[in-house]
Amino acid sequence: MPVVSFGKHIRFKVLMIPLTNNEMLILHGTEGVLGMVKAGKHNQFFLETEDEEIILGLEPDDLLVASGFGTDDKTINGLKCVLYMIREVGTPFIVLPKKHPASKRLKIVVSVGDRTRISCNITPGTHPEQDVLCGSGEFDGVEIIGVEGGVEFKNLTGGSIERIHFGI
């Protein structure tokens, strides 16, 4: 798929992009990047907090969404790697305690579920609620929703979307 680009003057109420289980969408911005894949046949994920382990049950069209703080190739490759480690290898999600010093050094954070809202007003890696994800300011307020056969974006005002093969 060619890259779909749009400027800041375009605001989508809802934009739907097709996505299959062997593809990944990358939303490129000027400050950050978002990557997303379908949960597919992997319906059980583990969320580790300081106090407990939570089992997350997902539907095939639910999404794993990763947010990268940067736009270079290292960040994009990191998104691919993290999403692969979680979906294909079974690496658990790890939630840091509030005010943990490592949150300042996180370059990539991940959320999972049927809907993710991007916020630039939260601390990366410290939210067990899987409906909110820290992201760059240009994506603040964007909602990403897993739908049958694709991904819906709400409140998207800029960037470019690329669909690529997901795998190694």
Q: What is the pLDDT of residues 13-43, one digit of tens each?
A: 689 999 999 999 999 999 999 999 999 998 8
Output the pLDDT for position 55: 93
Output the pLDDT for position 85: 96
- Please state the domain count of the chain: 1
pTM for the model stands at 0.89
Output the pLDDT for position 101: 82
User: Above pLDDT 70, what percent of the chain?
Assistant: 89
Residue-wise pLDDT tens digits, 36-50: 999 999 889 999 988
Q: What is the dihedral of CA 14, 150, 40, 85, to 10 degrees?
A: -70
Q: Domain range spanning residue 91?
A: 4-165
Contact call for residues 31 and 83 (beta carbons, < 8 A): no
Beta strands 150-156 and 143-147, pairing class: antiparallel
Amino acid at 62: D
Average pLDDT, the chain: 89
Closest CA to 45 of 5, 90, 94: 90
